[in-house]
Amino acid sequence: MRITITGGTGKLGRHLHEVLNSTHTVSLLGREADITDFGRLREAVQATEPDLVINAAAWTDVDGCAREPEKALLINGLGAQNVALAAASSQAAILHVSSNEVFDGQSQQPYNEFAPCRPISPYGYSKWAAEQGVMQVNPRHYIVRTAWLFAHGGKNFIHAILNAAHAGKALRVVIDEVANPTYNNDLAQAIAALIATERYGTYHLVNSGAVSRYQFARTILDMVGMTEYPIERITRAEWPRPSTPPAYAALQNNAAASVGITLRPWQEAVEAFLEYEKKS
């Protein structure tokens, strides 16, 4: 299969290339293929003659999206639709990477793939708009929602907690925000397995299990032997920020699990991440 990845210079795009390149012909499109410029994007996509386009391009600064909601909609929403249209112009399928923030966080149990979307932030709204645009213009689509992604080679929650602790800084972490920590490498492997099925639809690909931000932080420190390092428990109201994340946005993997695709528990994924970081 010929696969083209937009957002190819990002952490997920690069790891998807590593995972897929051994069995597929993979082309990476980076910043030169601006997903907000449909004409140039279509030319770049068509030049690769893809069977599938994976859209891993997005503006993931949720607070930035809150400050500039129109920019968020342009990049995340209309940009994703442009990618889907460009794929359709090459008779290619589209896989779009979305977010758990399309939900409002008011559920008392994990959201399944068919739960109604009610985003409460500009970032969440832009990702919901992206899903709608992709589904409307390209019937051969995969929508892959994920959550709390952590990857090697950049800033993430694990790095933030460990850097602060090693610097002796006070840690204050919220107890009332819950989701699924997800390892970038595991997500890439799951996406590779999903496209092999050619079963289009909406999927929740997250490491199994849900946890609060506080317990996530506590587990990280415990795993590196910092069991006595204190963390102050606070609420979201005590940590004001431009963007309002959903309080409970855990995802349930039903659709992918039905075809044998599951991701390991988030605790095992964190252990694997830390072990790799130790060796690198």
Residue 267 Rama label (left phi>0; alpha psi -120 to 50; beta) = alpha
What number of other Cβ atoms are within 10 A of residue 121's Cβ?
Answer: 22
Q: List pLDDT tens digits, range 78-106.
A: 999 999 999 999 999 999 999 999 999 99
Beta pairing class for 93-99 and 141-146: parallel
| Three-state secondary-structure class, residue 162 | helix
Which pLDDT band holds residue 280 (cuts at 50, 70, 90)? confident
Which pLDDT band holds residue 279 (cuts at 50, 70, 90)? confident
How long, in residues, is the chain? 280
What number of other Cβ atoms are within 10 A of residue 102's Cβ?
Answer: 26
- Domains of the chain, earliest start first: 2-154+180-209+250-264 (3.40.50.720)
- The yes-or-no verdict on residue 27 having pLDDT over 90 is yes
Question: Could you tell me which residues are beta bridge partners of residue 183?
Answer: 150
Which pLDDT band holds residue 245 (cuts at 50, 70, 90)? very high
What mean pLDDT, rounded, does the chain reach? 96
Question: Worst-scoring range by mean pLDDT, 117-126, 148-157, 192-201?
Answer: 148-157
What is the model's pLDDT at position 32?
81
- The yes-or-no verdict on residue 10 having pLDDT over 80 is yes
**Cα separation, 244 vs 224, whole angstroms:** 30
Token code pair at residue 215: 């317990």
- Run of H or E residues at 179: strand 178-179
Token code pair at residue 48: 């690769």
**Cα separation, 53 vs 51, whole angstroms:** 7
Q: What is the mean pLDDT of residues 188-199?
A: 97
Residue with tokens 């590196």: 224
Residues marked as catalytic:
123
What is the model's pLDDT at position 278?
87
Give me the helix-helix angle, 266-279 and 157-166, nearest 10°. Answer: 60
